[in-house]
Structure 1
Amino acid sequence: MQFIDLQSQLAHIRPAIDARIKKVLDHGQFIMGPEVFELEEKLADYVGVKRCISCANGTDALQLALMALGIGPGDTVITTAFSFFSTAEVIPLVGATPYFVDINPDTYNLCPSELQKGIAEAKAQGLSPKAVITVDMFGLPANYPAIENICQEHNLYLIEDAAQGFGGSINGKKAGCFGDIATTSFFPAKPLGCYGDGGAIFTNNDNLASLCDSMRVHGKGQHKYENIRIGMNSRLDTIQAAILLEKLEHFTAELNIRQQIAEQYNQQLAGQFKTPVVTSGYQSAWAQYTVQAKTENRDYWIDKLKRQGIPTAVYYPIGLNRQKAMECYSGLATPNTNLACESVFSLPMHQDLKIIQN
């Protein structure tokens, strides 16, 4: 059994993928070719925003978003303590200061009440909060109705990290449309993944979109040899765009299958594990199906499943606020993050998974 079966997924659409790649090989525009711009239009339409700007990976997408918002030295960015390292890594990369807050113990997403406390405490410490980065953990969008209100109250920018949440929604509004600017990753294991690295930025703000478009190509102006600001080299390869175009055609059907698998998991596992909590009106993209043990410890269950040929994965064993690279930065106490790091683990999730009924 595979944890994420990319080969099986490819087998379903291989002829169409091969045809897309052949077209790119034939026209030879391997960087920023026509498929890149076609993909950006279709992604913006899917998410429901005005603009999509593709880039080389999800980490660059976050850094470009911060740069476009003018976040830098002297600014503090408040974020969750429970995520992949890139969520926090990009903050000092632009010269700003991370400040960590705790998660909701049921959704594993940034907790709105902890965010309120974190803003007050950061200001009391003499820090200058400028933005918030949320994460759509395990595929479930964060509580944006509450978080957006808090950010507006305190005049903070909101960046949605939808790397895991792409395809999820709140009351019909897609992940990637929340906040001032949103980002995603097309790493192969993500809900919509390519066969290499890739990322994208989403916004309704034309100025932010133009800044990101410029900065992904070395801060270009009217053409690539006119450089009007400091930028990055972060362009999406045309072949990866071509692959994503084809996978996007099948994405909704895959999400429906993932939902069915999650429902089967819920029915089978609710007695032994704390299963995912999805609030009414929310839809998860099920980037991972993650449980928390009610009895025994995590290692016991991981070992038991391994002996039955069932793979698992742990996201994430160390909180961002406990990473050595972040030890010089502060934040609130994070008991819910600490518990999640010690006890949650994820089960296989892909469209060809078959769950045996008890």
Structure 2
Amino acid sequence: MSAKIWLSSPHMGGEEFNFVKEAFDTNWIAPLGPNVNGFEADLQAFTGSTHAAALSSGTAALHLALIMLGVGPGDEVICQSFTFSATANPIVYQGATPVFIDSEAETWNMCPIQLEKAIKERIANGKKPKAIIPVHLYGMPAQIERIMALANQYEIPVIEDAAEALGSSVNGKAAGTFGVMGVLSFNGNKIITTSGGGALISDNDELISQSRFLATQARDNAPHYQHSQIGYNYRMSNVCAGIGRGQMQVLNDRVNQRRKNYDTYVKELSSLPGVSFLPEPAGYKSNRWLSTILVDPNASNGVTREDIRLALEKENIECRPLWKPMHLQPVFEKYPSYVNNVSEELFNNGLCIPSGSNLSEGDLQKVISHIKALFN
């Protein structure tokens, strides 16, 4: 069998080892240290956010954001349905109710029309939502300016899930910096990685300071171990942050390469019957974390997304369907949802194809040729 072609694998730049070696040489192995501070500063400089907290995961960042907004049992939080479950799980951690919002077709993210409908109905029912969580899916920014306008109108704070969107922007403003807080992820398959990790970014110093306090077990300022609040073990280690510092040095290159992969797919596959891509709206920049295609079986001579997935799997090429919407997941089916069937159709017809910045030109062409072969 030929060598595996991965969907999105880690891509080291070379400098990561030097930062990690420095952590070992100076014995800074704890979840604090110069690399943590440096990585936070790098994130602030790149995103334009004035404060950042490096954490153990994007999920941890989202959980802390909800805690700091006072989300608790009985509350409702509006959440994009078309996403990975980690967006919704922390809502349930807090004993709150997720209210799922379907997507619009222009960015595949939270639909502002369904969002306003949900806000009005929840308020009319005596349950004003405590927060709104839109997602910038696959690196494509949501219609965040419209979402923020609604959030401001109804005075509901926004937590942006930008876990997949580091390097994406709308009119030059970085994804994750529109709301009161933004969440980033550095999992192994993301645009850059710290092996595992995440961050919370904000222009609110108090929120980020509080997130660091809670993330280090909420230890009070005392000579002994004293705790007045429930804390969490959510801080990033100095070793992992060293990997992140090295990765930040090549982030722009990683974004450019993934965008180049996407452009190649568009050039080579757009002419196939029933195959389409998601273009960037005016003023939008997507990091193209994952390249995705839609296959309309009514226009593709019967070829389906699943036909492509299975054919690539047979050739040891990793790919996967688009996210299954949260309102269709068994674990979340009991929660309220506002749907227009856009995300369900995307799930049924969409496919993520190999997108890594370390994808060789030969492997890229191999993926393209196997897809084309199905249409011949």
Alignment TM class, shorter chain as reference = over 0.9
SS of equivalent to 2:321: coil
Residue 219 of structure 1 contacts residue 231 of structure 1 at CA under 8 Å; is this kept in 2? yes
Deviation at 1:19, TM superposition (A): 2.0
Residue 321 of structure 2 aligns to which amino acid in structure 1?
V
Q: Which of the numbers 302, 319, 333 marks the counterpart of 1:312?
A: 319
How far, CA to CA, are the matches of 2:190 and 2:306 in structure 1? 25
Matching residue of 1:71: 71
Matching residue of 1:122: 122
Matching residue of 1:108: 108
How far, CA to CA, are the matches of 1:99 and 1:6 in structure 2? 33
The alignment status of 1:339 with 2:345, answered yes or no, reads yes
The alignment status of 1:20 with 2:19, answered yes or no, reads yes
Deviation at 1:308, TM superposition (A): 4.8
SS of equivalent to 1:201: strand
Residue 269 of structure 1 contacts residue 275 of structure 1 at CA under 8 Å; is this kept in 2? no
Residue 330 of structure 2 aligns to which amino acid in structure 1?
K
Deviation at 1:236, TM superposition (A): 0.3
Identity value in percent: 28
**1:1-358 matches, cutoff 5 A:** 1-4=4-7, 6=9, 9-10=11-12, 13-14=13-14, 16-31=15-30, 32-195=32-195, 197-222=196-221, 225-272=225-272, 273-294=275-296, 295=300, 296-316=303-323, 318-353=324-359, 354=361, 355-356=364-365
- RMSD over aligned Cα atoms: 1.8
What are the superposed Cα offsets for residues 276-332 of structure 1, whole Å, 9 maximum, x if unpaired? 22111111111111111022321112123334554312231x321122221221121
TM-score (norm 2): 0.89
SS of equivalent to 2:234: coil
What are the superposed Cα offsets for residues 198-230 of structure 1, whole Å, 9 maximum, x if unpaired? 110000012211211111112233368342322
How far, CA to CA, are the matches of 2:70 and 2:283 in structure 1? 34
What are the superposed Cα offsets for residues 239-265 of structure 1, whole Å, 9 maximum, x if unpaired? 110001001001101111211221111
What are the superposed Cα offsets for residues 177-203 of structure 1, whole Å, 9 maximum, x if unpaired? 1201011111010112122x1110000
Give structure 1 stretches of 5+ with no counterpart: none
How far, CA to CA, are the matches of 1:128 and 1:152 in structure 2? 13
How far, CA to CA, are the matches of 1:231 and 1:139 in structure 2? 31
Residue 283 of structure 1 aligns to which amino acid in structure 2?
K
SS of equivalent to 1:142: coil
**Greater Cα shift, 285-294 or 302-311:** 302-311
SS of equivalent to 1:187: coil
Give structure 2 stretches of 5+ with no counterpart: 370-376
Residue 309 of structure 2 aligns to which amino acid in structure 1?
I
SS of equivalent to 2:158: strand
Residue 160 of structure 1 contacts residue 182 of structure 1 at CA under 8 Å; is this kept in 2? yes
Residue 167 of structure 1 contacts residue 284 of structure 1 at CA under 8 Å; is this kept in 2? yes
Deviation at 1:29, TM superposition (A): 1.8
How far, CA to CA, are the matches of 1:198 and 1:244 in structure 2? 9
SS of equivalent to 2:250: helix
Distance of aligned partners of 1:281 and 1:102 in 2 relative to their CA distance in 1, 3 Å threshold: same
Deviation at 1:116, TM superposition (A): 0.8
Say how many residue pairs are matched: 352
How far, CA to CA, are the matches of 1:334 and 1:81 in structure 2? 11
How far, CA to CA, are the matches of 1:347 and 1:6 in structure 2? 12
**Greater Cα shift, 214-223 or 136-145:** 214-223
TM-score (norm 1): 0.93
SS of equivalent to 1:221: coil
Residue 239 of structure 2 aligns to which amino acid in structure 1?
I
Residue 72 of structure 1 contacts residue 96 of structure 1 at CA under 8 Å; is this kept in 2? yes
Deviation at 1:168, TM superposition (A): 0.6
How far, CA to CA, are the matches of 2:53 and 2:320 in structure 1? 31
Residue 158 of structure 2 contacts residue 179 of structure 2 at CA under 8 Å; is this kept in 1? yes
Deviation at 1:334, TM superposition (A): 4.1
